[in-house]
Amino acid sequence: MTPEATLRTKIARLQQRVRWLVVQRWATLGLIAGLAAATVLAAVARLRWWTAAEDWLWAAALAGLLIGGALGLTRRISAAAVAWLADQRLGLKDRLSTGLEFSASPSPEPIVAALLANAAAHAQQVHPKQVFPWAPPREWRWLAVAAALFLAVLILPGLAVFQSPQARAEEAVIKEEGEKLQQLARNLECQAKESDANREIMRRIAQNLGRLGREQARGRLSKKQAMLSARQMLNELEEAQRTMGVEGARRTFADMAQELEGEAERVRTAGREQPARALEEMARALRSGDMAAAQRQLEENARALENSRNSAADLQRQADTLERMAGALRDSHMAPVGQQMARAAQELRQAERQAQALQQQAARADSAAQRQQLRQQAGQRLQQGAQRAARIARQAGGT
């Protein structure tokens, strides 16, 4: 290899080294700008001016990094400047820069050839990493400040210590209701797959409900926003139900509420106040479109089963209430919930029949010990039936 080629090759390697150091610096500057933009987006999301801004935080930081790196690649780095800087750092007395200048227009003069040979010999001893070692750019301190500010805006407002007890309780309720909306959306999606009529309408509504539920579960909506959005989604669902009432005999929330109110009146006339109140609560929730309240009533039914006295009469009343609710939800888009409630009622009825059969066997038993054993088995069967029914009821409630 000629001295000219040796010199140019070494300086090209030095240029490449400087290039990547420049790219690093500009990428750092870009990342600082990206984190600043992400901090603004995080503040906007935390103030609930635009909650979807939280989805773009990392995209903003990454975009800043990439744009900064791209700008670094476009910076002009001349070979002459790199050679001069290497001369200064290594104390080569301008050998590299002078040799580079003469290599551009070779001369037959012996002194020029000797100068090029001397520059090439020194160039062979040059190591780019030693001439231009890696070091954190000066901007890294600002990068640390930007990252700390971003994390503070992103994390600190969500910590319990910076929230009042009322705000924490409200956020917990909103997240819980968001999870229940997601469960309702899954039920609607399942029903949309099973039905050919208006499948696309139901799938769209289920997707919107699921999206709303995810937003609530992530704490991105205030209580007012969550209530308004949920009401809007449920109005859309009820409108679809009216449409399908013509085409597919679907019942609306108002239809279900009206039937439950009638059932509550009949139960109250029969002297059973507690089941009547449960039916009225469910009717009120459905009439107002408050699905969170409806879900809470289903959970209350499950708790009532868990706390039942394990008597045949008590389980019979619980089964009757569940069957009335299931009947009101038939032919609606809450039919899957009604089917689970009907299953819970069926479990109670079966436990009641088996316990009654055991009690009859106990009455015919020859010994007191045998009678006692059969009665214990009857009580255990009632308890098992109540527990199984409670699990099914909790599934209906989405928990």
Residue ranges of domains in the chain? 3-157, 165-247, 253-396
Q: Determine the Cα–Cα distance for residues 161 and 247; give it in Å rounded to an integer.
A: 54
| Residue 72 or 104, more confident | 72
State the burial class of residue 257 (Cβ atoms within 10 Å of its Cβ: 0-12, 13-18, 19+): buried
Q: Determine the Cα–Cα distance for residues 226 and 174; give it in Å rounded to an integer.
A: 7
State yes or no: pLDDT of 49 exceeds 60. yes
State yes or no: pLDDT of 227 exceeds 70. no
Task: Count the neighbouring beta carbons within 10 Å of the beta carbon of residue 290.
Answer: 19
H/E stretch holding 290: none
Q: Determine the Cα–Cα distance for residues 381 and 350; give it in Å rounded to an integer.
A: 10
The amino acid at residue 363 is: A
Residue 333: band (very low, low, confident or very high) from pLDDT cuts 50, 70, 90: low
**Residue partners of 3: CB distance under 8 A and separation at least 6:** 99, 103, 113, 116, 117, 119, 120
- Burial of 305-317, coded b for 16+ CB within 10 Å and e otherwise, reads beebebebebbeb
Alpha helices, DSSP H, located in the chain: 3-46, 57-74, 79-90, 95-104, 110-124, 128-131, 140-155, 165-194, 199-217, 223-247, 253-269, 273-288, 291-306, 312-328, 335-364, 368-396
State yes or no: pLDDT of 398 exceeds 70. no
Q: Determine the Cα–Cα distance for residues 374 and 107; give it in Å rounded to an integer.
A: 118
pLDDT value, residue 310:
61
pLDDT value, residue 386:
83
**Residue partners of 222: CB distance under 8 A and separation at least 6:** 48, 174
Contact between residue 242 and residue 234 where contact means Cβ atoms under 8 Å apart: no
Structure tokens at 140: 């890294």
Contact between residue 339 and residue 322 where contact means Cβ atoms under 8 Å apart: no
Maximum average pLDDT range among 20-34, 85-99, 238-252, 362-376: 20-34
Residue-wise pLDDT for 381-395, tens only, equals: 888 888 888 888 777
**Residue partners of 381: CB distance under 8 A and separation at least 6:** 351, 354, 355, 358
Instruction: Tokens 């009533």: give the residue.
Output: 297
Structure tokens at 10: 């070494």
- Of the candidates 271, 372, 266, 399, the one whose C-alpha atom is nearest the C-alpha of residue 324 is 266
Instruction: Tokens 């989405």: give the residue.
Output: 398
Maximum average pLDDT range among 20-34, 82-96, 127-141, 377-391: 20-34
* pLDDT > 90 fraction of the chain, expressed in percent and rounded: 12
* pLDDT > 70 fraction of the chain, expressed in percent and rounded: 71
State yes or no: pLDDT of 249 exceeds 50. no
- Cα 163 to its chain centre, rounded Å, is 22
Least confident stretch, 85-99, 140-154, 232-246, 334-348: 232-246
Phi, psi dihedral angles at 114 (to 5 degrees)? -65, -40
**Measured between alpha carbons, how far apart are the two ends of the chain, in Å?**
77
Least confident stretch, 53-62, 213-222, 258-267: 213-222
Maximum average pLDDT range among 54-58, 112-116, 296-300: 54-58
pLDDT value, residue 221:
59
Residue-wise pLDDT for 128-144, tens only, equals: 888 888 888 888 899 99
DSSP label at residue 271:
T
Maximum average pLDDT range among 22-31, 75-84, 165-174, 315-324: 22-31
Q: Confirm whether pTM is higher than 0.85.
A: no
- Of the candidates 236, 42, 221, the one whose C-alpha atom is nearest the C-alpha of residue 146 is 42
State the burial class of residue 40 (Cβ atoms within 10 Å of its Cβ: 0-12, 13-18, 19+): middle
pLDDT value, residue 247:
44
pLDDT value, residue 143:
92
State yes or no: pLDDT of 224 exceeds 70. no
